[in-house]
Amino acid sequence: MDRLRLDSPDRRTAWKEEKERKLAKLKQLRAERENRRRKQLEKEAQEAAVRASSVPRDDQDLDKMLSSLGVAPVSEVLSSMSSMSSEPGGDHSGSPDKSLEANSTASPRTPSKKQPQLSVVSVQATNIPPRETVTYAKGVQTSGSGDGHGYYEDWWRPRKAEEEDNSLTMLDTPPIYGGGHNRHLPPGILPTGMPTVQDVKPALATEAEKKVEEEKPQPPRELSDEEKQMLMMTEEFHSFFDRSTRILERALAEDANIFVDYSHDYEEDGEANESGGIKLSLNRWFYDERWSRNRCITCMDWSPQYPELLVASYNNNEDSPHDPDGVALVWNTKFKKDTPEYIFHCQSPVMSATFARFHPNLIIGGTYSGQIVLWDNRSQKRTPVQRSPLSASAHTHPVYCMKVVGTQNAHNLISVSTDGKMCSWSLDMLSQPQESMELQHKQSRAVAVTCMAFPHGDVNNFIVGSEEGAVFTACRHGSKAGIVDAYEGHQGPVTGISTHSTPGPIDFSHLFLTSSIDWTVKLWSVKETKPLYSFEDNGDYVYEVAWSPIHPALFTTVDGSGRIDLWNLNQDTEVPTASTVVEGSPALNRVSWTNSGQQITVGDDMGKIWIYDVGEQLALPRADDWARLVHTMGELKNNQADDDQSTRHYDSSFSSLTSLSSSPLR
Amino acid sequence: MSAEVEETLKRIQSHKGVVGVIVVNAEGIPIKSTLDNPTTIQYTGLISGLTDKARSVVRDLDPTNDLTFLRVRSKKHEIMIAPDKEYMLIVVQNTNE
């Protein structure tokens, strides 16, 4: 700053002059302003005088302070306000101004208070409700497709479930309009039958019909393709579809011709008469293109709770390595629907399957890998819900035999694998067997078990057949746990065992049958180590044998050439009473009777299950069949004794045949 | 999921004697049909009315009861109707092969 001054003396002087000029001007302006003010003051001296006198001294001091700042004194402000207000003359400022005036007049009485007094003014509030505009909207009269409370709309349609109660109340309180609550009477007519006088009466009938007709063709055009696709994706649709198609497929399949006329001429179809006499006839087959094709049937079992349900386990399909190796299908024989009820699969070929006797929802499978798997048909999964571990404590060889034994509260799953290991499991815990036992015979030689059977009513003793051709009885518990007796007779691996379990007056539960690769079926008694009789009619490996559940002397066998044989011991022990060859001659791996004893199910190696009806004369036992069986057994024994004697002279089965033929069974 | 639906429909359609399969929703609009459009509309309209009437009969006789299945058998065809809360499945089959 000093430098500036020093640098430019000219500027300094110029600046000074300018400053002086400005100051002079300011003074002039101030003087003029003050003159004006004084003039104003003089003009309204009277008005101001009152106020000025009323204004307390504090205010005058204030005025001085304010005026020094250049602000007009308070009185002037007030006067200016009043001057302003007097000119326009509005109501709003009038009242506060008056109050102010009142205050200012009152204030000399209370000089201490400088602020204006506030008083409570009662405000009168009036409430005017809005004007109700009454409008008629079409929506009130006719509702959309969902509501259904409309007067005319679809009065014949039944209401939804929530509105069901109305139907009962209609008797108590007749509705104002007949349409809404009533389901059958046309609008305007009370349930009592008397038509009521309604406002819109004349145009009723035609209008209703027209509206109905209008609405009828409209709905089908509403949905677009995309909407339909969307609808079909919903969960609801899928559950509905699953339910309905299941029922419908059964209904479709049952083509029970209820209009059959039995009184028509029988000569035309004389063949129909003989159907009652046919001994063994094909009823149907079960085959699933996707799951059972090219798979050998390894086991079949019937459900104890639902006699029409059959579980069949399948081997792997060599042609499709990507499909699961083990499949178990549950078939329903009651309905003609030919798709399985349930489909289950697992990673290892299933060698045996059984329904858990005391758990209707569980299906147990024994696999080639030695695992025991458990499927549950309540879950949506098709894979096992439980699996036994692949460990040395469980099985490490294929499990061909499984059975649930015991009672409701105390039952076990018994499984035997081909290494001779027998494990007893609890179905709740498949992580380890409850107990396990090695079936060994003579010098610790393990028995390779291929089939197993429990005699009727026995949970402790059981019979096993082995690969060496010997049959053993064994015991689970007790002092003689393990192999008890050996029954030698077969010359090849034993493929099937069946114990006699037919209830009747005489107990034959000591009898059992075995089938073997050596083309024979042998009849044994547990009391004797030598077979009672040998059935030699087959020309191929006999894969399984099964006693009839109702007939004491009837059993069936299947062999590798597709032949099913029915043997009745009371009729003939040398040739089967009935025999048939399955269409296509596949090798038949399994056979099983239905619980009724009137049908045979046969499983072949191509994945088909054949169901054959057994003629009634053959299937149903007569009362004397038990006694006759005793007689037959006696004769067989005699023949065997003769046989033994004759074999000393010449050794061949031919002699047994001749001796039998010489002494007829009857 | 819809492939299963398609497959099942195809299976039913290929069943012996089946003329057509229609899936209808609660309002009477056909969702899926194997018949031509005018026939579908005709069937749907008539059968919806019939099903409603049948259902009302069942419920009137016993309010706790409900319609589960309806079969209409005529000389030439049999119409099987499986009604549900939201949808309805209709299958028409020839009788007397």
Whether A52 contacts A75, CB under 8 Å: yes
Q: Which amino acid would we find at residue B82?
A: A
CB A597 within 8 A of CB A619: yes
Cβ within 8 Å of A, B 24-53:
25, 27-32, 41, 44-45, 52
Question: How many CB pairs lie under 8 A apart between chains A and B?
Answer: 84
- Residue of A639, A618, A520, A640 lying closest to A567 (CA atoms): A618
In this prediction, residue A225 carries a pLDDT of 79
**Pair A390, A371: CB distance under 8 Å:** yes
Are A179 and A188 a contacting pair, CB within 8 Å?
A: yes
Q: What's the token pair of residue A440?
A: 């060994």
Note whether B80 contacts A238, CB cutoff 8 Å: no
Spatial CA neighbour of A393 closest among A436, A336, A453:
A436
Intervals of chain B under pLDDT 70? 1, 96-97
Residue A616 Cα, gap to closest chain B Cα (Å): 29
Residue B8 neighbours by CB under 8 Å, 6+ apart = A241, A245
What is the mean pLDDT for each group of 10 consecutive residues in chain A (666 residues)? 54 82 89 87 72 56 63 55 48 45 46 70 80 67 49 52 46 44 53 57 51 48 75 81 84 70 57 54 86 89 89 88 89 85 90 90 92 88 88 89 88 89 88 87 81 86 89 85 86 91 83 91 88 88 91 90 89 87 88 88 90 86 86 85 68 51 47
CB B80 to CB A251 under 8 A?
Answer: yes
Q: Which residues of chain A does B93 touch, with a Cβ-Cβ cutoff of 8 Å?
A: 252
Task: Give Cβ neighbours of residue A236 (< 8 Å, ≥ 6 apart).
Answer: B86
Q: Is B77 on the interface with A (CB under 8 A)?
A: no
For residue A181, the model assigns a pLDDT of 45
Cβ-defined contact of B55 to A216 (cutoff 8 Å): no
Query: Model confidence over B62-83: pLDDT tens digits?
Result: 999 999 999 998 888 889 999 9
**Residues with Cβ within 8 Å of residue B1, at least 6 apart in sequence:** A233, A238
Residue A290 DSSP one-character state:
T
Q: Are A309 and A300 in contact (CB under 8 A)?
A: no
DSSP string over A534-595: EE---SS-EEEEEE-SS-TTEEEEEETTSEEEEEETTT-SSS-SEEEE-TT-PPEEEEEE-T
Which residues in chain A are closer than 8 Å to B71, comparing Cβ atoms?
Answer: 251
Of B31, B80, B91, the CB nearest to A228: B31
Inter-chain contact A247–B87, Cβ cutoff 8 Å? no
By CB neighbour count within 10 A (0-12 exposed, 13-18 middle, 19+ buried), where does A312 fall? buried
> Which helix or strand (DSSP H or E) is residue A525 part of?
strand A521-525
- Chain A residue closest to B19 (CA)? A252
Q: Is B10 on the interface with A (CB under 8 A)?
A: no
Q: What is the pLDDT of residue A256?
A: 62
Per-residue confidence (pLDDT) for residue A234, from 0 to 100: 82
Question: Terminal CA-to-CA distance of chain B, rounded, Å?
Answer: 34
Q: Strand pairing partners for A375?
A: A363
CA angle A145, A150, A151 (to 5 degrees): 145
Inter-chain residue contact A232 with B32, CB threshold 8 Å: yes
Q: What is residue A108's predicted lDDT score, i.e. its pLDDT?
A: 47
Partner A contacted by B5 (CB < 8 A): yes
Rounded to whole angstroms, what are the CA distances from A553 to A391, A523, A625, A635?
Answer: 44, 12, 7, 14
d(CA A532, CA A508): 13
- What's the pLDDT score for residue A373? 93
Alpha carbons A653 and A651: distance in angstroms, whole number: 7
- Residues of B whose CB is below 8 A from A216: 45
Residue carrying the six token digits 């007030």:
A78
How is residue A265 written in tokens?
A: 């001429």
For residue A601, give the amino acid letter.
T
A593-A558-A341 Cα angle (round to 5): 45
A→B interface, C-beta within 8 Å: 145, 156-158, 164, 167, 183, 216, 219-220, 222-223, 228-229, 231-233, 236-238, 240-241, 243-245, 247-249, 251-253, 255, 339
**Cβ partners under 8 Å of residue A428, min gap 6:** none
Global pTM reads: 0.56
pLDDT of residue B17: 86
Nearest Cα residue in chain B from A236: B86
Q: What is the pLDDT of residue B46?
A: 92
